Amino acid sequence: MVPGLGDCPKCGITDWKPPRHVRTRGVTSTAIADLNIITCKKCGFTELYELSEQELAPIKKKALMIFIFAGIVPILLGIAVPIWLIWG
């Protein structure tokens, strides 16, 4: 069971699947919501929770790491490969 969650409003049990983090985007790219989807294991009832700042902190850190790998590593390769081709 997930801490802080009560009984399922549909079937009354407390057997929830672990929260799954999703990011949804609205009409504009600035309207982004980070949500936890929590689903009842028995009946499939699903609730959405907006992530707190505390929960978002490690996700933001991870996003920064992805940004570094996706943005900076290709640039470094773009510099290193021509040098290697010229000098190698």
CB atoms within 10 A of CB 59: 13
What are φ and ψ of residue 45, in 5° steps? -60, 135
| Closest to Zn ion by CB, 12 or 74 | 12
| Closest to Zn ion by CB, 13 or 56 | 13
CB 36, min distance to Zn ion, A: 17
| Closest to Zn ion by CB, 45 or 49 | 45
Query: What is the C-alpha to C-alpha distance for residues 73 and 88, in angstroms, rounded to an integer?
Result: 20
Instruction: Write out the residues near Zn ion by the rule CB under 5 A.
Output: 8, 10-11, 40, 42-43, 45
